[in-house]
Structure formats: structure tokens, C-alpha cells
Structure 1
Amino acid sequence: MTYYFIIGTTFLASVIVNAILKNKFRAYSKLYLHSHMSGKEIAEKMLIDHGISDVHILSVEGELTDHYNPINKTINLSEKVYNDRTAASIAIAAHECGHALQHRLGYHLLKLRNHLVPILNFSSKFVNLAIMSGLTIFYSSGGKDSFILKLGIGLFFLIVVFSFITLPIELDASNRALTWIRNKNIVNHQEYNKAKESLNWAAMTYVISAFGSLAQLVYFLSFITGKKDEHF
């Protein structure tokens, strides 16, 4: 399997999954909860039930822009999620609260990812320049000078590591959200299944991102290991 086939397949899968995810959320945004609780109210209740009182819930612009900020301890919900009383809203709001709970409990992978953020920001700024210039120097020297290329690959390796650390963090946040939803009887059986399906599709975006990054890393490594397929 060549590099371009892997990258092309990854890109196509990403486009398809993102399209399905958006369609699912739009469809489930029409499934109103029997409890009539909004995303904001769901988040408030989940935080209270877990004894978290120092996290604020904010409304932000955009679609699927929801996130938890561990720096200022805020749960940022898109306007639709913040206000709507649907299966999609409860899934997203509870998921972000799952991240707040991870933070509160000192979840080891979340702590590790937070420590890596400054390094990732640095890597993201210079990785493309390092790899492109490294490849140029590598080929112009007949494969003798690979230091810059190796540096670029090292920076990209950090991005791959970050992606694979993020994956279990997202899955764990969803599991915490779904466990709380089920145990507190927040939703009925149909609503629970829709919320679970929404989070499963959201998790797929992280799976594709992680393995797509891994495929690129393998390709870059093939230059310096001498195993690069000429048909790439």
C-alpha cells in the first residue's frame, strides 16, 4: 500500500466521517429530550453531581466548536448546544463535562497532554519547514546530510504522539458522560442510544486523525531508512 493511497484513503474517510457526524448531529438536534433540559442545564447538573464548582459554562460561536479549556476551567458550548434541549446537545455537553471531571481527578493522560501542548505548538510552527528544507538538503547531498530531515521527522513524531494520546482521552470523556447520563436516568432508552451514537461518530474523527498522522510519519521515515517506494 503506497503512501498516496494511505493518505488519500485517510482524507476520504475523514471527509465522509465528518459529513456523517454533522448529519447525525443535525438529525439528533430535532430529537427533543423528555426532560426538556438544555445543554447548559445538563452541564450544570453533571458538574454539580461530581462536586465541581470552579468550572464555568460559556456559550461560544460556531458549529461543533465545543471544548473544555483546562487553563481557565471553562466549558465552552456552541450556541446551539448551549440552548437546545436535544439528544445531540446532551451528548456534547456531557462529553465536555467529562473532560472537566478528568481534570478534577488528575487523569494521567490529560495531564500528559497538557504538558505537551507548548511542545506541540512549537513543533507545529516549524515541522513543515524542517521537513521540506530537510528533504531538499538530503537529496542535494545525495542522502549524506539528513540532520535537518531527522529534526523535522522528530517534530512530526511529537504531533503523532499527541494525536494518539488525545484518542483515549476523548474516549474516556465520552464513557464518563454516558455513564453519568445512564446512571442518573437523564434520558430514556432512545435518547441514550442517540447520544451514544453521536459520541461514537465524534470519536471516529480522532481515530482517523491519529492513524492518518501515523501513515505520514512512516512515509517520512522511509526517506532515511532507504525503504521509500519510488511509486509514492
Structure 2
Amino acid sequence: MGTYLFFIIPMLIASMFVQWKFRSKFSRYAEMQLNSGLSGHEVAEKMLHDNGIYDVRVMSLDGQLTDHYNPADKTVNLSTDVYYGRSVAAAAIAAHECGHAVQHAKLYHWLELRSAMVPIVSISSNLLQWVLIIGILLIGFTGNPIVLGIGVAGLALITVFSFITLPVEFDASKRALIWLKNNRGVMNTAEENSQAKDALWWAAMTYVVAALGALANLLYYASMLFGRNRN
């Protein structure tokens, strides 16, 4: 347990810091109105059309920071603040989500792999907590490692999924920032582009700490499984 806490406590602190930093950046840049006056919805539509994409719908979604692209039904889903907002933050996030739509249209292999894993990862995530609890009880009372081994395999799958997500997110941000920089009708100043880059960088960091947290969790349960087997 001591080794686990040695890894997990710094990860929890890092995760909380990154989440706080991202939310503070988003709140700050949400107050900075675009000189172009475009809304997140208008930015999204323009980026899609500039990339020759006309079969993706831009939808408004309840909640805050619930923005995502759904490749299954080809929708860019923007939270209310982003959809209607006319700020640097709204434009950056809208362009980032459209970056995923561009990936989909161009058959970006990391997105295809991630999308293929979503159903099984979703099922694994829902069952994993109970599998791990039962596995720990069984290995403690009977020494049988099979159920815990299944749990560790599920954690490994989730960890791989988390790391596959990283190039998908970084690439979407890269596509968004290049497009924003080349479209003066959207962001008219270097300062706006710098602010968009800052916001998206911190957004990407939330995925980095999530992946590292998944890895730390996997290592803990794997050490429990294999350490018990050695005994």
C-alpha cells in the first residue's frame, strides 16, 4: 500500500492542479471576446466547410466542458457556453472538436483505433470495479488469482486506451491551431492565437495526467497479482 500511495498521491495532486489550471484558463479566455465576433458554432461550421466537410452536424449540448466529437453519428457537440460564446475559449474548443471531425474524414489511424476500442473499454469500465474487488477477496481467501488477473487485463486495456487517446487529442489541437492561425477572419491577432494555444495545451494536459493515473493504477494491481503469485 505504501508503494501505491507513493505513486498515486502525486498523481492525484497533479491531476487536481491540471484540472484547476485548465478550468481557470477556460474561464479567463471565455471572458476575452473575439475581435471577429464569431460564435463557437460559426467557427465550427467554417472550419468544417474549409476542410470540405459538409456531412457533420454541429449541435448544442447541455453542461459545461462537455464538448466532444461523436464519429458514430458525425456530430460536433458543443456545450452551451462554447456553442453560443464569442470568445477565444469558445473558438479554440470548437476548432479542436472539429479537428476530430477532420481526423475522421481523413481516416486518421489513431482515431480509428480509439473508436474501435470504445465499446469494449466502456463495458470493461462498468464492470472493472466489481471484478477487482472480487479478485482481491478471492486471492486473499483462496489464493486463486484468476479473477484479479482478469481485472488487471481490463486495467491494461483502459491504460492502452488512455495512451492512444493522447496522439488523438494532440493532433486535433494541432489541426485546430494551424487552421485558426491561417484564418484571420476568425482570430485577427497573434495574441488571440497565443491564448487559444495556451487553452488547448492545458486541455491536453488533462489527458496526460489521466493516462499516467491509469498507468499507476495498473502497476499497483499488477504488483499485487504478481507479488502474490511469487509467494
- Residue identity in the other structure for 2:161: F
CA–CA distance in structure 1, aligned partners of residues 228 and 34 of structure 2: 55
Q: Which residue of 1 aligns with 2:77?
A: 76
User: Any idea what the Cα deviations from partners look like across 1:91-150, whole Å, max 9, x if unmatched?
Assistant: 100000000000101110111111111111121122111111111111112x3x111110
Q: Which residue of 2 aligns with 1:170?
A: 169
CA–CA distance in structure 2, aligned partners of residues 2 and 208 of structure 1: 19
Q: Which residue of 2 aligns with 1:118?
A: 119
Q: How does 1:1-232 map to 2 (within 5 A)?
A: 2-141=3-142, 143=143, 145-185=144-184, 186-187=186-187, 188-226=189-227
Structure 2 counterpart SS, 1:88 = helix
CA–CA distance in structure 1, aligned partners of residues 123 and 209 of structure 2: 23
What is the Cα deviation at residue 227 of structure 1? 8.0
- Aligned CA RMSD, in angstroms, stands at 1.4
Structure 2 counterpart SS, 1:35 = coil
- Residue identity in the other structure for 1:101: V
TM-score, normalised by the number of residues in structure 1 = 0.94
TM-score, normalised by the number of residues in structure 2 = 0.94
CA–CA distance in structure 2, aligned partners of residues 200 and 152 of structure 1: 33
The answer for unaligned runs of 5 or more in structure 2 is: none
What is the Cα deviation at residue 5 of structure 1? 2.5
- Residue identity in the other structure for 2:28: A
CA–CA distance in structure 2, aligned partners of residues 29 and 22 of structure 1: 10
Following TM superposition, where does structure 1 have runs of at least 4 consecutive aligned residues deviating by more than 6 angstroms? none
- Residue identity in the other structure for 2:147: I
CA–CA distance in structure 2, aligned partners of residues 227 and 172 of structure 1: 41
CA–CA distance in structure 2, aligned partners of residues 208 and 166 of structure 1: 12
Query: How many pairs were matched up?
Result: 226
Greater mean alpha carbon deviation, residues 11-20 or residues 1-10: 1-10
- Residue identity in the other structure for 2:203: A
- Residue identity in the other structure for 1:124: S
CA–CA distance in structure 1, aligned partners of residues 21 and 171 of structure 2: 22
Structure 2 counterpart SS, 1:226 = helix
